[in-house]
Structure 1
Amino acid sequence: MTMSTDAGNRRLPPRRTGRQPGWYIPWIFVAGFAVVIAVNAVMVHYAVSSWTGVQTEQHFIKGIKYNQDLAGARAQAERGWKVETEFTGTEPQKGVVALTLHDKYGNLLKDAKVKVTFIRPTSEGHDVALDLPYLGEGRFGAPVALPMPGLWDLRVAIEHATGDYQDEKRITVK
C-alpha cells in the first residue's frame, strides 16, 4: 500500500525577513496624539504665563456688595446729573480730558472731586489716574500723556456733597 501525500506538490509561502505591511500604522496614531499633546502644552504655557485676565481686585467682596452697588446706581439715576466726558487728542499718545457737570436742573456742579482713570483693557501696569482740577463754569479738565496708543477705558469717579457719580467710556488714543 502506498500513501500519497500532497506535500511534495505544495509550495510553502516565502519566509519574510523584514517587517509586515502596515507595521507603521499604530505609530501614526502615537505621533498624532504626541502632536496634540505638544500643542496643548504650548497653549497651556502661554495661557498661564501671559496676562492673568484679572480685571477686578477683591472680586468676591465686591460681589457680596452687589446689592449696594445696585442701590447706588438707582440713586445716581435719580439725581439725573448730566456729565459730558470728552477726550481730545492733541499729539500722538497725548490729549486733554475734560468733563462738564450739571445737575438735573442744569445748575453747575462746582465743589466736586473728579478723578479719571485711563485703564488699558488688554494689559496691566499701564493705567494712568488723574485728579481733575476745576476750570470754571462746571468744567473740570487736565492734559494727559498715555504710554501707548490704542483702546483705553476711561473711568470717571465724581464725589459731591449731593452724591457720587461713576461712569466708564471706551476711547481710542492715536
Structure 2
Amino acid sequence: MTMTSPTTGLRPTRMPRQKGWYIPWIFVGLFLVVAAVNGVMIHFAVSTWTGLETENHFLKGIQYNRDLEGARAQAERGWQVQADFTSTEPRKGLISLTLRDKAGALLEGAKVTAKLIRPTSVGHDVTLELPYLGEGRYAAPVTVALEGQWDLRVEITHPTGDYQNQKRVWVQ
C-alpha cells in the first residue's frame, strides 16, 4: 500500500542526508568511551587499595637528617648482625640474630625487637621481643597470619649504641 498526497497525488520523497551528519555522533561515542574507561579505572583504584599509607609522613620527613646521622653512627660502630628467618611449618618460623661488635666480641645485654611487617596490607604485623639465648644469640618462634613476603625489621638497643636494619623474608 502506497501513500500518496491527496492534493498532488505524488508520493513524498525523503530528503537525502546532509554530508557529515554522523560527526556529532562520533563526538558522543568518544565521550562515552572516555567515560567508560574512567569508570573502569575508578573501579580498579578503589577496589585494589589496601589502605596502606605512611603515618606521620611529614614528621618522618623532618627527622630525615637525624636518621642519616644515626645511620652514620651505626656504620662507625661496625656491629656484625646476622639476622635470619627460618620457616619451620606453614606460617610459622624462627627469628634468630647473632650480635657481635666491631672486634668480633659477642654483644650481651641488648634489648632486641623484631617486627614482621606485611608490606602489602595492614593489620597483620607481628612484634616480638627476642630473648638472649647465650653466645650472642637472640631468637624466638613466630606465627604469622599469611604466607608470602614479609619485611623483617630488627631494632637493637644496647648500652654502647643502637642498631636497626630491615630485610625481606619469605614465609611459607
TM-score category (smaller protein): 0.7 to 0.9
- Count of paired positions: 160
Aligned-partner Cα distance in 2 for 1:64–1:125: 26
How large is the RMSD of aligned CA atoms in angstroms? 2.0
Counterparts in 2 of 1:7-156, with a 5 A limit?
15-16=13-14, 23-48=21-46, 50-54=49-53, 56-156=54-154
**Structure 1 pair 27–122 and aligned structure 2 pair: CA distance change class (3 A):** same
Write out per-residue CA displacement over residues 42-69 of structure 1, whole angstroms, 9 at most, x where no aligned residue.
Answer: 3224424522441x32111111111111
- Share of identical aligned residues, percent? 64
The reply to whether residue 169 of structure 1 matches residue 167 of structure 2 is yes
Give the residue type in structure 1 aligned to 2:102: K
Gaps of at least 5 residues in structure 1 are 1-13
Gaps of at least 5 residues in structure 2 are 1-11
TM-score by length of 2: 0.84
Partner of 1:9: none
TM-score by length of 1: 0.83
Aligned-partner Cα distance in 2 for 1:93–1:19: 71
